[in-house]
Amino acid sequence: MNKYPAWLNILTLVILIGGCLLALPNIYGSVPAFQIAQNDGSAYDETRLQEFVRVVENLGYTPEAAFLKDGRAVLRFDAGTNLAPIDQDLKARYGRVAKIAQTLAPKLPVWVRELGLSPMSLGLDLRGGVYVLLEVDMNTAINTRLTLYEQGIDDMLRDAKISHRVSLENRTIAVQLRDESDLEEAREMVQRSDTDLLIVDGSDDKSFVVRMSETQIKARQDFAIEQNITTLRNRVDQLGVAEPLVQRQGVDRIVVQLPGVQDPNEINKILTATATLEFRMVDPSGTEPGSRSYRGRPGVADAVLKRKVIASGDQIIDAASGFDQGAPIVSITLDSTGGESMLQTTMENLGKPMSTVFIETRREAIQRNGETEYREIKTEEIINTATIQGIFKNRFQISGLGQGEAHDLALLLRAGALAAPVFKIDERTIGPSLGQDNIDRGFNAIKIGFFAVVLFMIIYYKAFGLIANVALFSNLVFIVAMLSLLQASLTLPGIAGIVLTVGMAVDANVLIFERIREEISGGSAPQAAINAGYEKALSSIADANITTLIAAVVLFGVGTGPIKGFAITLMLGIITSMFTAIVGTRVIVNLVFGGRKLASLPI
């Protein structure tokens, strides 16, 4: 009685060993390191790795370890090493072709690293770095789309030779026709172009009004968020920050966490910049429909530019800064659509001037009646006007920029244009010492909670309490193992979830042990009492844990940031504690007490 089959005992042992192995990397700690990755994503080989090592050694530093990980070179140094000179030299040599990031790397033995094992990831509140909360300008996102609809309707009616006037105001496109007879044809053309558009009657028989539907507005807002997240991730990658986090928060906000970065000034401009370019032909006469005047930056003449955009920032797939005859330039590469448009334009306009328009949106704070208000400032200026000397397609250059400006513009264009402007509404910098203090406090809380529960269980349940404590320790090992396996970030709220789990993990054993005591008090034999205790308490244990698990899943699904961190550790803790309390302790109890004739139980 009270014996598990050998295969189940072996399986439990294998799971325990696997958990210990996955949790093992977390005991070694982390040290300063450099992570170097190719800009084009290709993998480094051992030859390039040794080249990096020689460069560092020539500076008088010796890496504690150097290895390749996922095609990236990692140079690890002893704790306390001043990495500033190394960072400066590596970026001077390789900054144009590689992303170089200072980071923390786990100090793992070679055999652990070769097994592919990694410690759990630490959140920003534990590791230190910069936290930025950005708000996406949804009004601009909607208005940008409406402007495209306005231009499309205008072009469509012009091609159909229907006399008209199109205007956009307050999210409404008003279409005024000259002849009433064209009304039905014009409405049908617009409706066919996009069946989701809402078309209603205008103020007279020669006009109608076009609006975006709620479905279109919601889709555009979601697109703006997702596109901006993708662009911001690309920009962060260009900055060379290791293990960044960029994710959506709520309806119109994006959270950016940059571990290891301590100077927010170096990343604020890149994150919030909405700079992009448009290429337009100059209208010398200034009479073409849709043409308007643009201001030139100092040293560049003002000009009237045509309405049609030849190519824009969202069609740029690569941009690199450099020099031509000693002057800073940005070399541009367009996608196929932009390239075809540029080819057609240059073929038809040889000897004519084309301008490059720099567009930037920023938010400025102003004080009004004691309250802070914000106004948006959009800058559109010509940075370059050049005569088309030859036919070109995907590749060309723009000039008229300062050296630093050329570098920053190339970075922004290479990372992609934001679908809508973003504005910083919160920023926090967490120092590495504060992060370490958070870690120490969090793990001290776990230790205190753990030892308090251990002491109580031993005093109250004697030998069975000792068995429950073994299961409790195994539970902590499994939580750490799962966090390491899933590479889920451990945050301060996550530590709170672990502390809560420590207290809850013995609940199942308390129910089981109290049931065993009741069975013994009722006159049951020790072996029968053990069996009844585990079987009769199972339903209560399952109900209690499943309801808590449901709550944790809901928290994870609807929560953001810290709430998700808490929910993850709580979910993992519930799952692992169910296994260790029901299966784990039963295995030990069976091995220690099973199959023996007992007069009493130490419980």
487: which DSSP letter?
A: T
More confident residue, 88 or 242: 88
Same domain as 309, residue 163: no
pLDDT of residue 406 exceeding 90, the answer is no
pLDDT of residue 269 exceeding 80, the answer is no
SS3 241: coil
- Cβ atoms of 9 and 591 within 8 Å: the answer is yes
What's this model's pTM, rounded to 2 decimal places?
A: 0.62
Same domain as 464, residue 379: no
Query: CA 136 to CA 272: how far, in whole Å?
Result: 10
SS3 165: strand
Two tokens, residue 134: 């950005």
SS3 310: coil
pLDDT band with cut points at 50, 70 and 90 for residue 582: confident
Q: Which domain holds residue 198?
A: 139-217
Residue 343's nearest CA partner among 395, 281, 291 is 395
pLDDT score for 319: 79
Domain boundary among 382, 401, 428: 428
Same domain as 468, residue 448: yes
**Amino acid letter, 296:** G
pLDDT band with cut points at 50, 70 and 90 for residue 105: confident
pLDDT of residue 281 exceeding 90, the answer is yes
pLDDT of residue 52 exceeding 60, the answer is yes
Same domain as 462, residue 395: no
pLDDT, mean of residues 421-431: 79
Same domain as 330, residue 301: yes
| Complete DSSP assignment for 58-114 | HTT---SEEEEETTEEEEE--TT---HHHHHHHHHHHTTTEEEEEEEEE---HHHHH
Sequence-ordered list of residues with C-beta below 8 angstroms from that of 40, at least 6 positions apart, any chain? none
pLDDT score for 293: 93
pLDDT score for 242: 59
Determine phi and psi for 174, rounding to 5 degrees. -95, 130
Two tokens, residue 400: 């008229």
Two tokens, residue 295: 């201001």
pLDDT, mean of residues 432-458: 79
pLDDT score for 275: 66
pLDDT band with cut points at 50, 70 and 90 for residue 547: confident
Same domain as 481, residue 423: no
Two tokens, residue 320: 């690199």
pLDDT of residue 182 exceeding 90, the answer is no
Establish if 259 belongs to a structural domain.
no
**Domains in the chain, number:** 4
CATH code at position 506: 1.20.1640.10
Query: CA 202 to CA 207: how far, in whole Å?
Result: 5
Domain boundary among 195, 217, 239: 217
- Cβ atoms of 204 and 245 within 8 Å: the answer is no
**pLDDT tens-digit series, residues 362-398:** 666 566 776 666 666 778 889 888 888 888 888 888 7
Establish if 361 belongs to a structural domain.
yes
Same domain as 537, residue 481: yes
Same domain as 442, residue 394: no
